[in-house]
Amino acid sequence: MDYKKAGVDIEAGYKSVELMKEHVKKTMRPEVLGGLGGFSGAFSLSKIKEMEDPVLLSGTDGCGTKVKLAMVLDKHDTIGIDAVAMCVNDIACAGGEPLFFLDYIACGKNYPEKIADIVKGVAEGCLQSEAALIGGETAEHPGLMAEDEYDLAGFAVGVCDRKDMITGEALTGGDVLIGMASSGVHSNGFSLVRKVFEMTKESLETYHEDLGTTLGEALLAPTRIYVKALKSIKNASVTVKACSHITGGGFYENIPRMLKDGVKAVIEKDSYPIPPIFAKIAKEGNVEEQMMYNTYNMGLGMVIAVDPKDVDAAMEAIRQAGDKPYVVGRIEDGEKGVELC
């Protein structure tokens, strides 16, 4: 008896690391110390010393059951973008710059090419957010997971000067809400998605006229990363008063998180285009509108609040970063919460 016969292939692990190295190298920043394969990832904090009062920000998350779609479609090179996005968007939401990322892949059996494909997506997410991929773990779990199954999660660390943190404390009635377009469902609500649609390769590869693509392509579209958009706004000397990353819980759970007591957010539902995938989920699954807005991003992945005088500059900065902005509502005095109209 040996480890391989027990279900853990050490040689496959070595091959996975070799295959992923080319992707990881692309994400390196000058602050990264050492290479891949050490016991820990090292990152110099010398640049942080230039800040008045540096604050470290962290985020950890996964892709939920969206990985199931990747498995059914046997397409694994974008799911890593989702894992990175879920973490770095939260850091950017607080005013931070993502510094580095670590991934964790649990699998029933290590297929080196598949693992390398997953890490390729992670590396792409790191490139989009300008974070270094400084380490990770691939754990083989024979007997715990089926051979063709895996799960993916990650952890990110970022930094900002305390004076630049986005806290919501400066919000006042009359501030304007700007939403940034999402790429689709992103990484939340897939347990409902998998109940609404048949999760077979044939079903997911079927082209739908109303979507302009196959169902699988619409659902598997990677989560949009908004790090560069928020950085662009900052570089335009616009103060973001509050920010919300619209993830699980949709509008009703996430918008209030950006608010201080005594103000509410009013969002106009017809102020921006809603991607057709959401209408399809609602229709096919007979999902009520309130539940849709309490589960999904409904076309807005990030919402920020700015002073009315800064709206034009903020909108242009977002466009310069490659994202689509919409004026979607306003802040009013009242009981803390969100009102959709």
Q: Is pLDDT above 90 for 2? A: no
Q: How many domains is the chain built from? A: 2
Domain of 135 in residue numbering reads as: 10-164
| Tokens coding 71 | 């498995």
Answer yes or no: do 259 and 336 share one domain. Answer: yes
Question: What CATH number does the domain containing 261 carry?
Answer: 3.90.650.10
pLDDT score at 294: 98
Where is average pLDDT lowest: 45-54, 90-99, 214-223, 233-242? 45-54
Answer yes or no: do 68 and 200 share one domain. Answer: no
Answer yes or no: do 44 and 191 share one domain. Answer: no
At which of 100, 130, 164 does a domain end? 164
Answer yes or no: do 86 and 200 share one domain. Answer: no
pLDDT in tens, 114-150: 999 999 999 999 999 999 999 999 999 999 999 999 9
pLDDT score at 34: 83
At which of 164, 194, 223 does a domain end? 164
pLDDT in tens, 72-98: 999 999 999 999 999 999 999 999 999
Question: What CATH number does the domain containing 85 carry?
Answer: 3.30.1330.10
Q: Is pLDDT above 80 for 5? A: no
Closest CA to 244 of 292, 301, 295: 301
Place of tokens 């490139």: 127
250: burial class by Cβ within 10 Å (0-12, 13-18, 19+)? buried
- pLDDT category of residue 213 using cuts at 50, 70 and 90: very high
- pLDDT category of residue 13 using cuts at 50, 70 and 90: confident
> For residue 331, is it within any domain?
yes
> For residue 5, is it within any domain?
no
> For residue 287, is it within any domain?
yes
pLDDT score at 141: 95
Answer yes or no: do 218 and 303 share one domain. Answer: yes
Answer yes or no: do 155 and 28 share one domain. Answer: yes
> For residue 170, is it within any domain?
no
> For residue 169, is it within any domain?
no
Cβ pair 70, 163 in contact under 8 A: no
Answer yes or no: do 23 and 76 share one domain. Answer: yes
> For residue 125, is it within any domain?
yes
Mean pLDDT, residues 276-283 taken together: 98
Answer yes or no: do 258 and 127 share one domain. Answer: no
Q: Is pLDDT above 80 for 171? A: yes
pLDDT score at 291: 97
Cβ pair 27, 131 in contact under 8 A: yes
Share of the chain above pLDDT 70, in %: 100
pLDDT score at 12: 84
Cβ pair 183, 330 in contact under 8 A: no
Transcribe 95-157 into DSSP letters: T-EEEEEEEEEEESS--HHHHHHHHHHHHHHHHHHT-EEEEEEEEE-BTTB-TT-EEEEEEEE
Answer yes or no: do 148 and 20 share one domain. Answer: yes
Q: Is pLDDT above 80 for 36? A: no
Cβ pair 233, 307 in contact under 8 A: no
At which of 102, 132, 164 does a domain end? 164
Answer yes or no: do 264 and 146 share one domain. Answer: no
> For residue 1, is it within any domain?
no
CA atoms of 122 and 102, how far apart (whole Å): 9
Q: Is the pTM of this model over 0.85?
A: yes
> For residue 4, is it within any domain?
no
Answer yes or no: do 63 and 144 share one domain. Answer: yes
Mean pLDDT, residues 60-69 taken together: 95
Answer yes or no: do 15 and 98 share one domain. Answer: yes
The amino acid that residue 290 corresponds to is Q
pLDDT score at 159: 97
Q: What are phi and psi of 78, to 5 degrees?
A: -120, -20
The amino acid that residue 56 corresponds to is L
- Average pLDDT of the chain, as a whole number: 95
